[in-house]
Amino acid sequence: MSSKHIFDSPQGLVLKSLRGAIALNPSLRLHAPSKSVYISPSPSTQGPKRRLAVISGGGAGHEPAHAGYTGQGMLSASVSGDIFASPSAKAVLTCIQLALLHLGDEGEKEVLVIINNYTGDRLNFGLAIEKARALIPGLSISSVVVSDDVSLLNSPTPSLIGARGLGGNILVCKILGAAAARGGSLDQVKALGEAVVKHFGSVGVGLGHCHVPGRTKPSETEGEIGEDECEIGMGLHNEPGARRCKLGSAEELVGEMINLILTSKEGGFGRFGGGGVGGDEVVLFVNNLGGISQLEMGAVVDETLIQLEKLDIHPLRVYSSSYMTSLNAPGFSLSLLNLSAISRELSGSGTFDILELLDDPTEATSWLGVRSNWPISSLSHLRPTNKSTRQDKTNELLPTSISLSIDSTTPAPASKSTSSWYESADISPEQVRRGIEGACSKVLEVESEMTRFDTVVGDGDCGETFAAGARAIQSALKEGTLDISHSNPEELVRSIGEILEDSMGGTIGALFALYFTSLSTSLSTGTPLTSAPLTALHALSTYTPAKPGDRTIIDALQPFCSSLASGTQEGGGLEGAVRAARRGAESTRGMKARLGRAVYVGGGERPDEEKDGALPPDPGAWGVAAIFEGFWEGLNAV
């Protein structure tokens, strides 16, 4: 890999890149605190037909995604995280608010969120959607999850999260953005998006890994792809693919990639063609991951078309560019979109013609695709693009354009007085404080243990992430910003969730934020303390398919919630639930991961450590059990 960079530190690099992106399009603005790019509101960008805003985003490092696809005809707004890290739920919520500026003050408010299928993105975007529903009056909001990578779906132990999202995300953004610009409703465009994702297959290949600015270059013993090797199915973040093999001829490589798409059992074209799509209308989408020369990319397109023709597959549109990169990774992906299958699925709706949507104009600077002279008869009249001008600064617009400010994420306080609640529960605020302090101390006590576990089965940051949350709670208690004496349960839980969301980050931070938000909502509706945790767990299942036995925090959280709700475990009540959580965490010893990045990073690569259940417990489940034990010990401390 090439480890030389013009900017050799990631500090400030993402914002600097975003400022460069908006310099190319005078209709765009940047909200720096959330790393959101959005279309400036003006009469020319608020056409009377448009009622739906479409947004997307994800970690940085995939440029020009997604700032380069923000503009009339595509995305109303986009949000970026740090390099290869999902944006926080608060940042996504701000992006949603900014997208609404594009719709104006009158009429229906609808937002469609396009999410790439990675755990952190699913959780953070999902939490933001739930917050937006609760906080923005009259808003209708939903999502489409892009999962076009079919390379790992035939694995003996596939990830429960499903197919990963690859460069096909950008084609989905173009189609759905154009449909929204034509006046499509949320329900119409979401249905179109679900059909597109269902009949869309991609496979990537890497000749080497990308290098993140500021990181040390790994040695060849740390997983670098050899000079004479390639990795079929490599992900957007250097994740391992389906297999590593000797780099043969271009013809063989392209042929294998096409075959994977056409024969996948669960994704791509195997869903509806059984390995062949002869006679169907398709779109070919070729994505450069950032490090392949344009000379070779042109040849890749040619070779792909030659092999598709032999299969009686004749694309009606061909696109090739660096649409969604992986920094400087030397690799590319091939994608096929089956238009005929989508038409069959949506037969009778007659709402949209996908070729027309692809040909529709857009002001997004990074969309590359010829709009005219394709040899078909269904091209529509090309509509002129609207022109936009820069408007006032973001923070001057938001308070007057929508009903809440960027940082206003707290619902109205509960009506029940705090003192009366503590009296009825026969517990004192001081006891609760000791319980929370005990939970934080216990997490810090097991931090190194969690780190050791995660070094074996993950990327080594679990202990550090839990510790960051514990220290943030301790600081909030010390500074008085977490006010137990004047907070009833739903307020206290909500505040803790917000602190953890800000301090923990990543997938685990999003999981905790989602869970505590759902728990607060459950408590606010009058659900008893003993059953509210289980109700919140059911709400969490909307955003993660994790179940007991998948080696996640659910292995400790589910037994705790179920035991507390039923009161049937040994000792009953909270003490019995804490014991159930510990047993659940212990049960993950030797389990193989089925969710999260550990599926790609750890599982299957260390057979010697899996013998006789030698894999350590899941570090997240271990941390959750420690939280419950620490809370119980603190609650009962004299």
User: Tokens 């952190």 correspond to what residue?
Assistant: 120
Stated as kind and residue range, the H or E segment containing 468 is: helix 462-479
Tell me the C-alpha distance between 581 and 626, whole Å: 9
What single letter denotes the amino acid at residue 508? I
CA distance 433 to 347: 59
- Separation of alpha carbons 310 and 323, rounded Å: 27
239 half-sphere exposure, CB direction, 13 A CA radius: 26
Count Cβ atoms below 10 Å from residue 150 Cβ, excluding itself.
Answer: 30
Upstream peptide bond of 237 is cis (omega within 30 degrees of 0): no
327 touches 211 (CB < 8 A): yes
Q: Residue 227 belongs to what H/E stretch?
A: none
Rounded to 10°, the helix 89-100/394-401 angle is 70
Question: Which strands form 200-206's sheet, in the order they lie side by side?
Answer: 243-246, 229-232, 200-206, 331-338, 282-288, 317-321
Cα→Cα distances 274→168, 266, 279, 282, 447, Å? 21, 11, 14, 16, 49
Residue 254, token pair as written in the block: 């392209």
Distances (CA, A) of 423 to 299, 389, 458, 488, 575: 75, 59, 45, 11, 21
Q: Is 269 within 8 Å of 261 (Cβ atoms)?
A: yes
- For residues 484-520, one letter each, b for 16 or more C-beta atoms within 10 angstroms of the residue's C-beta and e for the rest, the string is beebbbbbbbbbbbbbbbbbbbbbbbbbbbbbbbbbb
Task: Report the candidate in 178, 16, 34, 169 with the shortest Cα–Cα distance to residue 95.
Answer: 34
Q: CA of 594: how far to CAs of 240, 436, 542, 572, 577, in Å? A: 15, 31, 17, 32, 25
> In terms of C-beta density within 10 A (0-12 exposed, 13-18 middle, 19 or more buried), how is residue 39 classed?
buried
Distance separating alpha carbons of residues 564 and 316, to the nearest angstrom: 58
> Under a CB-based contact definition with an 8 Å cutoff, are residues 388 and 45 in contact?
yes
Task: Please report, in angstroms and rounded to a whole number, the separation of the first and last CA atoms in the chain.
Answer: 58
Q: Tell me the residue length of the chain.
A: 638
Question: DSSP secondary-structure letter at 77?
Answer: E
Annotated catalytic residue, options 31, 237, 314, 381: 237
| CB-CB contact of 35 with 91 (8 Å) | yes
Tell me whether residue 237 is one of the annotated catalytic residues: yes
DSSP of 612-635, one letter per residue? GG-SPPPHHHHHHHHHHHHHHHHH
Catalytic residues: 237
